[in-house]
Structure 1
Amino acid sequence: MSTTTRLCWLDLREATSRDAIVEEALHQGIDGLVAAHPSELAGLPPSIDRVLLSEEPVTPGTDLGVADVVVAPMTPTERQTLEAAHPDVRFGVYVDVADAPTLEDACRAASTQDLTVIRFRDPTKIPLEIVLAAADACDGSVVTMAGDLEEAQIIYTVLEHGSDGVALRARAVGEATALRAAALGGSDPVKLDELRVVRTTHVGMGERACIDTCSYLGLDEGILVGSTSKGQVLCVSETHPLPYMPTRPFRVNAGAIHSYTLGENGRTRYLSELRAGDRVTAVRTDGSTRLVTVGRVKIESRPLISIDAESSDGRAVNLILQHDWHVRVLGPGAEVLNSTELRPGHIVLGHLPTADRHVGYPIREFCREQ
């Protein structure tokens, strides 16, 4: 099964605001629109796959209209007959999984056919896991039907790499955008800049936050933290060995509670307002990102150190961290730098957003932070 392409289909069969949903789907680059009858595909542009889905078998003489893809229950022999009759159409096997025999049918199709579209009757994702495992070494694509966006997000992540595609039952405008974001499996990359440390100062006691995530973070991965919305430093997780204590690769000792970090959709969040279940942006030293779920935020009083740095064009960045050797930031080449050993001239990695913020959202307005 291929995992390089995440297909996004919108199932229009129950859509009420059809025209608006189609317009958004075209704008977002959705891969396919699903309908039950050829007439419902008429008028759709060829820039998007027009998918005809039938829960009953189709025959070579069936009118397929302008369909680019036809999905229906079929045997390999029936598929060959249909392909001969309609050489310009891609055919896929539809399987409705309701019990052990139909699950076996889905596994067989997913491991042998070019395209398999599956509906699972039960809410558990164990049958999908079984299908994905059966198809793991195969070249075909598996598209799984989802009743809502939450289910679509889960389908994309089952067994880590998830289904090759999702056919989301479309009900409202906005779902095409959200489905495309779910298919990307993360968030947009960020540009990291090299910042030169100009000053470090012990600033006394204060509350700092440790962000315990629900994911293992990499050796070159952390979260961006800063005292202002216009500059953050990449703080690494407790992935690297420490004396006297075990590693905690899910944790970032992130900074004082007033600090910003990046959440979802490019919105900044105060460390103090994060709660279990929120999502923050984890960033690697190459700028790639992913969203990770917060499991806990641990706030305690600790001695603090203030780190002032600046970019090559003179923009100032400040980060206030716990004053302790095991609290670390990342430098060029994923160099791990202990915060208490930073001195003027050291280089750290950071991010310099250009927009000001209002309640965490980017906005074009005058805003001075100092």
Structure 2
Amino acid sequence: MKLCWLDIRNADGAKNAIIEEGIHQRVDAIVAADPADLAAIPPTVKRVLFPNADALPEKLDDVDLVVVDPARHGDPADLAQRHPELEFGRFVEIVDAASLDDACRAARFDHWSVLSFRDPTKIPLEIVLAAAAGAPGSIITQVADVEEAQIVFGVLEHGSDGVMLAPTRVGEATNLSAAAAGGAADLTLSELEVVGLRRAGLGDRVCVDTCSQFRPDEGIVVGSYSHGMILCCSETHPLPYMPTRPFRVNAGALHSYTLSEQGRTRYLSELEAGGKVMAVDSAGRVRAITVGRVKIERRPMLAIDAVSASGVQVNLIVQDDWHVRVLGPGGVVLNVTELTAGTKLLGYLPVEQRHVGYPIDEFCIEK
């Protein structure tokens, strides 16, 4: 879980509403220029003073952490000796090579580093994160909006420890909290047994090409029904007659469900470049990856019927070809044309029905 700081220093009329929303969303800190704005903040939220003036206020009774610009307020280490009851952090604005060096030192040695990057490139942040690898402190990066926060959370696959956002309207704190929650929860996969195979004639199958490289035991879960999906393997493993495409899953017929962000299902036909799909490995570990392209082409189709130990019926319709593969227990790679009754597969069995992709507890029959 990444840290979320809300900067209310310039919130003006919306200040109280933003604070209330932030507390409700359990943000990690409220950042203010005036200690009076922090007086009513509950102890579950860190109260951060980030003064606009050159001098610190005389009274810091309602403050947990003070972020200072050393050029205006003094060195954080010296201030910490004078105020042992408080935490101090260092603010660095990165505008050139010298300030980038300052940010790297702060990230390595200061307990809190609040960084602001003048230029839109994320290369300076990558350099800071690399320099701070293994350091015990926390890096908070100032962001312009929630979209930038999502990018910052993923830089170098590690991301900044947190972000500081100055909301312009109510609702942004909620969106920021959702972005900070990161990837979806891991899935509990079930063992399925193949009970039937039949040729299903021609149909439109979907290859999902992503912007990421799949691991050998990783793919996406796909199924005809929302209550049961099968783990389809990527084209990471060698194939005859064609090169491997480790970014691709030959997923199934275009009507099929797969998992997207926030637990929502999407039809394969709905996926598009720039969207998200959930990659799942044989242990159920999940990560959101970006769709780069979707290829829909007419091919001969194969229907796979399987059942779980609890009796849940699962169906998947895929291209009827040897190079289309699914995963079995332990990440075993299985060619769909070589499946037989009794073959064990890995699958996911959601407990909720779906309405426009969202989980809902209602009566629904799929067959």
Equivalent residue number for residue 205 of structure 1: 202
Equivalent residue number for residue 223 of structure 1: 220
Please tell me whether residue 296 in structure 1 is matched to residue 287 in structure 2.
Answer: no
User: Percent identical across equivalent pairs?
Assistant: 57
| Equivalence map 1:99-248=2 (5 Å) | 99-248=96-245
Q: 2:255 & 2:269 partners in 1: Cα distance?
A: 7
Equivalent residue number for residue 256 of structure 1: 253
Q: 1:42 & 1:185 partners in 2: Cα distance?
A: 31
Change (3 A) 1:48 1:103: same
Letter aligned with residue 97 of structure 2? A
Equivalent residue number for residue 13 of structure 1: 9
Letter aligned with residue 68 of structure 1? D
Equivalent residue number for residue 68 of structure 1: 64
> In the TM superposition, what is the alpha-carbon distance from 1:96 to its structure 2 partner?
1.9
User: Matched residue of 1:353: which SS?
Assistant: coil
Asked whether the 8 Å contact 1:185–1:290 carries over to 2, the reply is no
> In the TM superposition, what is the alpha-carbon distance from 1:58 to its structure 2 partner?
4.6
Map Cα deviations across residues 20-56 of structure 1 (whole Å, 9 max, x no partner).
Answer: 4333333433211111110110110111111111255
Q: 1:30 & 1:189 partners in 2: Cα distance?
A: 23
Equivalent residue number for residue 82 of structure 2: 85
Asked whether the 8 Å contact 2:77–2:88 carries over to 1, the reply is no
Asked whether the 8 Å contact 1:41–1:65 carries over to 2, the reply is no
TM-score (norm 1): 0.93
* Corresponding residue to 2:305 among 301, 305, 308: 308
> In the TM superposition, what is the alpha-carbon distance from 1:14 to its structure 2 partner?
3.2
Equivalent residue number for residue 47 of structure 1: 44
Map Cα deviations across residues 315-338 of structure 1 (whole Å, 9 max, x no partner).
Answer: 111000111111111111111111
Equivalent residue number for residue 369 of structure 1: 366
Letter aligned with residue 77 of structure 2? Q
Q: 2:196 & 2:171 partners in 1: Cα distance?
A: 46
Q: 2:341 & 2:23 partners in 1: Cα distance?
A: 51
User: Matched residue of 1:110: which SS?
Assistant: helix
Asked whether the 8 Å contact 1:55–1:73 carries over to 2, the reply is no
Task: Kindly report the root-mean-square deviation, in angstroms, between the aligned alpha carbons of the 2 structures.
Answer: 2.0
Letter aligned with residue 171 of structure 2? G
Asked whether the 8 Å contact 1:58–1:72 carries over to 2, the reply is no
Which consecutive unaligned segments of at least 5 residues does structure 2 have? none
Aligned length: 365
Letter aligned with residue 69 of structure 1? L
* Corresponding residue to 2:315 among 307, 315, 318: 318
Change (3 A) 1:70 1:219: same
Asked whether the 8 Å contact 1:14–1:171 carries over to 2, the reply is no
Equivalent residue number for residue 327 of structure 2: 330
> In the TM superposition, what is the alpha-carbon distance from 1:128 to its structure 2 partner?
1.6
> In the TM superposition, what is the alpha-carbon distance from 1:109 to its structure 2 partner?
1.6
> In the TM superposition, what is the alpha-carbon distance from 1:72 to its structure 2 partner?
0.7
> In the TM superposition, what is the alpha-carbon distance from 1:155 to its structure 2 partner?
0.9
Letter aligned with residue 26 of structure 1? I
Farther-moved stretch of structure 1 (195-204 vs 239-248): 239-248
Farther-moved stretch of structure 1 (80-89 vs 345-354): 80-89
Farther-moved stretch of structure 1 (77-86 vs 320-329): 77-86
Letter aligned with residue 50 of structure 2? L
Asked whether the 8 Å contact 2:68–2:74 carries over to 1, the reply is no
Equivalent residue number for residue 284 of structure 2: 287
Q: 1:37 & 1:343 partners in 2: Cα distance?
A: 70
Q: 2:142 & 2:302 partners in 1: Cα distance?
A: 51
User: Matched residue of 2:155: which SS?
Assistant: coil
Which consecutive unaligned segments of at least 5 residues does structure 1 have? none
Map Cα deviations across residues 136-155 of structure 1 (whole Å, 9 max, x no partner).
Answer: 24322211001100111111
Asked whether the 8 Å contact 1:8–1:30 carries over to 2, the reply is yes
Letter aligned with residue 268 of structure 1? T
User: Matched residue of 1:105: which SS?
Assistant: helix
